[in-house]
A = this chain, B = another copy of it.
Amino acid sequence: MNVNLLEKLLRDVKEGRLDVPSALQGLRSLPFEELEFATLDTHRALRQGYPEVVFSQGKSTAQMKAIIKNMLGRGENVLATRVDAAKGKALMKAFPKGEYREVPSTFFVKSHPVKKSGKGTILVISAGTSDVPVAEEAATTAEYMGNSVKRLFDVGVSGIHRLLHRKEELWEARVLIVVAGMEGALPSVVAGLVARPVIAVPTSVGYGANLGGLTTLMAMLNSCASGVTVVNIDNGFGAAYAASMMNKE
């Protein structure tokens, strides 16, 4: 480790095994290692108990296996997202202790138990049944990152009573992830009912003027309710990651 290296260098100087110009030269080449270790410290802090994450889309099964194997070798938990059924089957065969979930298209392998890290509950809400895969990606990711997670699905605004009926659950959450397609109205309604951070996740569910989710995304960015922040289309993982940051002590 760098700290050890630095300590050794200083000891070498102290004890006369290294003269000052050579030490200086050595240090000049160090700063970024130095930086790196600093950063890694941060990252380590950041990752306490968090899994390493692999975005599978566009990667072959062979590439996936190699990456996961490497990560497991470092003693990390590993979460792969956007894993289709065929890849999931192949990964299960390669890592029989892993867990493949079809709806959120996630694959997870433990090196160590997931450490509970969040302070409160993350509530994942979805508007329609078609939004469930993205909502499940969010919920599953948040669980694997050590959070307590609840789900509240199929409560879109065209039947507003379904949401209002569950307001207690809204009030109990510490962070809310709201997943919706179409006109993307749900986060505005939710944010008007709670005093907690609301992360809006637009989905690409829709057709025509939906423009592959772009309309939903834009609508959410124009929410008339304060407290809403937005992530990219279908980015359930990103919402869960951000929610985990918000849910920390």
Contact = CB atoms under 8 A, between A and B. Distances in A.
Interface of A: 3, 6-7, 10-11, 13-14, 16, 20, 23-24, 27-36, 38-40, 42-43, 45-47, 53, 57-58, 127-128, 130, 156-162, 164-168, 171, 181-185, 188-189, 191-199, 202, 204-235, 237-239, 241-242, 245-246, 248
A202 to B, nearest CB: 8
18 contacts: A10-B20, A27-B27, A29-B168, A36-B165, A39-B159, A45-B195, A157-B157, A157-B189, A157-B224, A160-B189, A160-B193, A183-B188, A183-B219, A185-B224, A202-B208, A211-B214, A229-B230, A230-B230
A207 B232 contact: yes
B38 A35 contact: no
Contact of A160 (B159, B160, B234): B160
Contact of A195 (B7, B42, B215): B42
Copies assembled:
8
A195 to B, nearest CB: 3
Contacts of A225: 157-158
Contact of A183 (B45, B127, B223): B223
A226 B246 CA distance: 13
Nearest to A245: B197
Given A24-B6, A158-B189, A159-B39, A217 B209 contact: yes
A31 B35 contact: yes
A121 to B, nearest CB: 14
A29 B222 CA distance: 32
A242 to B, nearest CB: 5
A171 B222 contact: no
B184 A183 contact: yes
